[in-house]
């Protein structure tokens, strides 16, 4: 059976002498794996399609009960080429697709996630947009779509409203107030300004794209909160390779 769908390339692995196995996130079926035979041959017209972050339309031979489908042809819909001359934006785009790859599985379509990644890759590749703010939008909305929306307005222990900020411990799943939280060396403190920024991003459907007014310490806390929270709820995201470069950018 021949199938066609739109998809974003998440990663590729060389296979044999001239082939590649491509992992994509598709509009119709969610995670999709294709084998593209002979695609590494210099004469193959599809050889440049499969860079991570590319938005493609792919045609493939679908075989039921098989995890690997056979690539037939493809067409580039958006290369997001604005990423290629900006190292920060390219790094964040690579983190986005690796995070999506590690946090999703199976063959269930989720059109909201597909729209999220294509929209935010477009935003990220657009000059004038704040790369960090666009990335925060993607990360927070992905958590929400996966059922892990951060609850940051009330203490996760006593349920009282968080006024004056909250803290996330190394083994905490949500923020705690000053009365309930037991401070330790690994605590991440989130003040009210940072909480408000997170709420604004979660309420924004298309992404803010504007530079936030967070101070450097608050920005660092937001980055740390995002990853501590994500590692706790989605263990498969631990050890992401692209994070090593990201940590160098935002350390």
230-239: per-residue pLDDT in tens?
A: 999 999 999 9
Q: Are residues 57 and 173 in the same domain?
A: no
The answer for residues whose C-beta is within 8 angstroms of residue 205's C-beta and 6 or more apart is none
- For residue 74, the domain's CATH number is 2.40.50.140
Distance, in Å, from the CA atom of 7 to the CA atom of 56, rounded to the nearest integer, reads 5
Q: Give the pLDDT band (50/70/90) at residue 224.
A: very high
Q: Which of 115, 99, 108 is nearest to 52 (CA)?
A: 99
Q: Are residues 135 and 202 in the same domain?
A: yes
Distance, in Å, from the CA atom of 22 to the CA atom of 104, rounded to the nearest integer, reads 15
Distance, in Å, from the CA atom of 1 to the CA atom of 155, rounded to the nearest integer, reads 52
Distance, in Å, from the CA atom of 72 to the CA atom of 50, rounded to the nearest integer, reads 13
Tokens of 203: 């309420």
Q: Using the 8-state DSSP alphabet, how is residue 36 labeled?
A: E
Tokens of 98: 């690796």
pLDDT at residue 55 greater than cutoff 70: yes
Q: Are residues 12 and 110 in the same domain?
A: no
Residue 164 has a pLDDT of 86
Last residue within a domain, chosen from 78, 95, 128: 78
Q: Are residues 180 and 229 in the same domain?
A: yes
Tokens of 194: 């940072």
pLDDT tens by residue, 162-204: 988 999 987 778 899 999 998 887 899 999 999 999 999 998 8
CA dihedral 147→152→155→160, nearest 10 degrees, is -120
The answer for residues whose C-beta is within 8 angstroms of residue 115's C-beta and 6 or more apart is none
The rounded mean pLDDT for the chain is: 90
Last residue within a domain, chosen from 60, 78, 96: 78
Distance, in Å, from the CA atom of 110 to the CA atom of 115, rounded to the nearest integer, reads 9
Instruction: Please state, for a pLDDT cut of 70, what percent of the chain lies above it.
Output: 96
**How, if at all, do strands 55-61 and 69-78 pair?**
antiparallel
Q: Are residues 120 and 142 in the same domain?
A: yes
Q: Give the pLDDT band (50/70/90) at residue 16.
A: confident
Token look-up 């996130």 returns: 25
Range of the domain at 67: 2-78
Token look-up 């193959």 returns: 44
Query: Rounded to two decimals, what is the model's pTM?
Result: 0.93
**How, if at all, do strands 55-61 and 188-190 pair?**
unpaired
Last residue within a domain, chosen from 78, 113, 136: 78
């Amino acid at each position: 059976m021949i199938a066609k769908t739109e998809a974003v390339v998440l990663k590729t692995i060389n296979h044999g002498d001239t082939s590649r196995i491509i992992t994509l996130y598709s509009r119709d079926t969610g995670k999709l794996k294709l084998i593209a035979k002979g695609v590494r041959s210099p004469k193959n017209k599809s050889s440049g399609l499969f860079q991570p972050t590319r938005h493609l339309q792919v045609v493939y031979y679908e075989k039921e009960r098989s995890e690997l489908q056979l690539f037939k042809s493809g067409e580039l819909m958006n290369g997001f080429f604005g990423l290629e001359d900006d190292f920060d934006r390219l790094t964040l785009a690579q983190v986005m697709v690796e995070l999506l790859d590690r946090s999703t599985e199976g063959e269930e379509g989720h059109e909201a996630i597909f729209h999220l990644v294509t929209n935010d890759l477009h935003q990220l590749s657009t000059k004038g947009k704040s790369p960090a703010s666009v990335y925060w939008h993607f990360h927070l909305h992905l958590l929400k779509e996966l059922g892990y929306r951060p609850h940051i307005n009330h203490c996760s222990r006593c349920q009282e409203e968080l006024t004056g900020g909250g803290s996330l411990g190394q083994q905490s799943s949500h923020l705690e107030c000053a009365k309930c939280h037991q401070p330790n060396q690994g605590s991440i403190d989130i003040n009210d300004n940072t909480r408000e920024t997170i709420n604004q991003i979660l309420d924004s459907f298309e992404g803010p794209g504007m530079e936030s007014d967070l101070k450097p310490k608050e920005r660092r806390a937001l980055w740390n909160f995002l990853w501590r929270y994500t590692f706790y709820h989605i263990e498969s995201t631990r050890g992401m390779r692209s994070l090593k470069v990201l940590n160098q950018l935002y350390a």
